[in-house]
Amino acid sequence: MTTLTAIPVPAARSARQEQAVPRGGLARTAALASLPLAFGGRAVAGRFRRLAGADADEVSAATMQRNAEQLFAVLGRLKGGAMKVGQALSVYEPMIPAEMAGPYREALAKLQATGPTMPAREVHRVLATQLGRGWRGHFASFDDTPAAAASVGQVHRAVWSGRGGRPDREVAVKVQYPGAGDALAADLRTLERFAAVLTLIVPALDARAVLGELRARMLDELNYRAEADRQRAFAREFAGHPGLTVPRVVASAPAVIVSEWLDGEPLGALIADPRRAGAATRDRYARTIVETMLSSPARLGMLHADPHPGNFLVLRDGRLAMIDFGAVAELPDGFPPALARTLHHLAEGDAEAMMGVLRAEGFVGADVTADEVLRYVGALANPLRERDFHLHRDWLRRQGERMVNLRSRAFWETGRRLALPPEHLLVVRVLSGWLNILAQLDCTTDVRGLAEEWLPGFGGHRAGPGL
């Protein structure tokens, strides 16, 4: 969820717009259930068109395009799990073939940005419940217009009243939507039943496994007190970092977090127009993000598990700010060593050693060959193979077009036969998500060098949290 940003959401929404978001369980399920029905109808229509002599590739591409447009339109209209899944899928946009990406890129951008807002009276009711009836006494001022809104809550700008001689300070007040938990759980149950639908948009995706892993992370986001504790831990660990800051927590409750306000704009603004910053600046941001993701399991025993360009802000002083700690994975033993060794062997092209780890850990069956795994991963491992690798859209799109090959099921089947455990799947999802995002930023960074420094089993010497 986008938070702590000075970029405002639309200030005025009519009552009709606010009521347009389906809130009841039946209405939400009906909206999601419309997807497979429509997709199935298009599949039948496509078969008739091919029988009538239409080009098979053109029919398939047109069908996937219309499916994608409807999918993101429905997910974007719903809060809760539906919108979160849409945001998770949106980072894979660069891997969608060029001829299909254009028509719904705008819908993806909307999913990455903001969601429908909660009326002021609802916000006040939550604050009174969480901070007490005298909640206004904590603030010198409170802006009822949300600064940002997303799947399970929204953020308001305010001024926290200083006490004991301390000065007032600007803060971001994150308020959870009432009933967000029920909507989240219901959406995830429904989407898991329709997991096959998502493979019509990203065919190489093991949708059921991804949805299962997302469920655990998303339900964690409902506990704002735990989120505040994680944010405090990240803020302590990265205090003094030259390129990164984490906003300090001022106060917290189960459904409210009050944090230091930071003026900046989401990293997504640079992604929309990378030319707004020079190559050296983009490269510096990329290195900071990769270093943060690879080092935090060793330094904190945690991994920020929500790859999303809104979760990093570009501050006025040139630093990045990492925000929103609702989805954070607990990795008490650090980065999974078996996964680090697998990545190292993959980077080195040592197929025999790679398969030895995969088979010893039970990640693949006897029917999967090293050649199949190497072909499946392909050039996606190049950032681990080369120093100062250039991540850009064209490179990533070529990999997507290779994997999303409608004429062959080889890549799909190989991916489905890789049986990674949940904690490994989570790490792979997070890192691949940031790979996609950084490719959109058009940057060059030394992923391999940072992996050698921070991943035990990849040539590094750091073995666990706090080292």
Q: What is the pLDDT of residues 159-180, one digit of tens each?
A: 999 877 788 999 999 999 888 7
Domain ranges of the chain: 22-77+80-114+186-220, 120-178+223-260, 264-467
Q: In what order do the strands lie in the sheet with 244-245?
A: 244-245, 320-322, 312-315, 264-266
Which burial class, exposed, middle or buried, applies to 111 when counting CB atoms under 10 A from its CB (0-12, 13-18, 19+)? Answer: buried
Q: Measure Cα distances from 213 to 199, 217, 425 in Å.
A: 16, 7, 8
Least confident residue range of 48-52, 165-169, 171-175, 319-323: 48-52
Highest mean pLDDT among 44-48, 133-137, 269-273 belongs to: 133-137
CA-nearest of 403, 397, 405, 404 to 440 is 397
Strand partners, 264: 315
Does 449 score more than 90 pLDDT? yes
**C-alpha–C-alpha distance, residues 311 and 94, integer Å:** 19
Q: Give the right CATH number for 120-178+223-260 from 3.30.200, 3.60.21, 3.30.1490, 1.10.287.
A: 3.30.200
| Rounded-to-10 torsion of CA 363, 364, 365, 370 | -150
Q: What is the pLDDT of residue 378?
A: 83
Enclosing H/E stretch for 169: strand 169-176
Residue that has been written with the tokens 């006025």 in this structure: 316
**Which one has a higher pLDDT value, 66 or 80?**
66
**How many angstroms separate the CA atoms of 160 and 151, rounded?**
25
The pLDDT of residue 80 is above 90 = no
At CA 444, angle to CA 439 and CA 445, rounded to 5? 105
Query: Structure pTM?
Result: 0.76
Q: Give yes or no for residue 12 having a pLDDT over 50.
A: no
Q: Which residues contact 133 (CB under 8 A, 6 or more apart)?
A: none
On whether the CB atoms of residues 413 and 365 are closer than 8 A, the answer is no
> Which of 54-68, 100-114, 403-417 is predicted most confidently?
403-417
β-strand partners of 444? 390
The mean pLDDT value for 306-328 works out to: 92
State pLDDT tens for residues 84-123: 665 565 555 555 555 555 544 555 555 555 556 789 999 9
> How does residue 181 score in pLDDT terms, banded at 50, 70 and 90?
confident
Question: What pLDDT score does 353 carry?
Answer: 92
Q: Mean per-residue pLDDT for 325-344?
A: 92
What's the rounded Cα separation, in Å, for the pair 324 and 178?
Answer: 19
Q: Tens digits of per-residue pLDDT, 417-448?
A: 777 777 787 888 889 889 888 998 999 999 99
Report which residue type is found at 49.
R
Of 185, 153, 194, nearest in space to 172 by CA:
153
